[in-house]
Amino acid sequence: MKFACENSKGVSEHSEILYVSTTALPAQASTPEADYSLSSATSLYVKWALTADQTGPGGLITGYVLYMDDGLGGLYTPIFNTVNVSPTIQGYLVSGLTTGRQYRFKLEAYNYNGAGPESAVATLQACAMPSGLAIPSRVSSTSTAITIRWNEPTN
C-alpha cells in the first residue's frame, strides 16, 4: 500500500510502500530462564519457549529479540536478535558477566506485523555451583549445645 496527497496545486510523490498482513501481533513471549548446566561463573545460557504462531500467512513468528540490563538496574539493551534470521532459536549464551551479579532479561516475539508484548522480567544470577566445602568439625560442646565450624565454599 502507498499513498499520495492532492491539493489545488497538484499531486505529491507517492509514499514508500507499506506492507501489512491481516493478522494479530504475536502473543506475549515466554519469560526467559537460565539453563545453569550450560552456564558458568561469568556466563548465563538464557533460554525461552517458542511463541505460538498467529493465524494467517503473516502470523508466523519471524524471530525474537532478547534484552538485558547491565546488572545494576540500568536500562535494557537488545543483546540477541533472531528476527528474519531464525524463528526456532530458543537460547543464547551471554558471556563476560560479573560473578554474583543479578541481571534482568526480557524477550519479545516478532511476526510480519511487528513485536508482541514483552515477556515478564526474569532476574538471573551469574554464578557457579558451590563447591570446596570440607567436612564440618566440632569446636566445642556442652550437654545442651554444640558449636560447629566449616570453611567458606569456593563459589
User: Domain 6-128 carries which CATH code?
Assistant: 2.60.40.10
What pTM value is reported for the model?
0.75
DSSP 8-state secondary structure symbol assigned to residue 22: S
Question: Could you count the other beta carbons within 10 Å of the beta carbon of residue 93?
Answer: 14
- CA angle, residues 65, 82, 99, in degrees to nearest 5: 60
Q: Which three cell numbers stand for residue 84?
A: 528474519
Per-position DSSP letters for 55-107, written without gaps between them? SSGGGS--EEEEEE--SSS---EEEEE-TTT-TT--EEEEESPPTT-EEEEEE
What was the pLDDT predicted at 84?
92
Asked if 135 and 152 count as a contact pair (C-beta separation under 8 A), the reply is no
| Residue type present at position 6 | E
**Domain extent listing, the chain:** 6-128
Distance CA 132, CA 138 (A): 18
Tell me what pLDDT residue 155 has.
66
Q: What is the pLDDT of residue 121?
A: 98
- What is the residue-level pLDDT of the chain in tens, covering all 155 positions? 677 788 888 888 888 876 666 788 899 999 999 999 999 999 999 999 999 888 776 788 999 999 999 999 999 999 999 999 999 999 999 999 999 999 999 999 999 889 999 999 999 999 877 777 778 888 888 989 999 888 777 76
**Res 35: pLDDT:** 96
Helix or strand or coil: residue 7? Answer: strand
pLDDT, position 21: 64
pLDDT of residue 139: 86
DSSP annotation of 36: G
Q: Please report the pLDDT score of residue 91 as a whole number.
A: 97
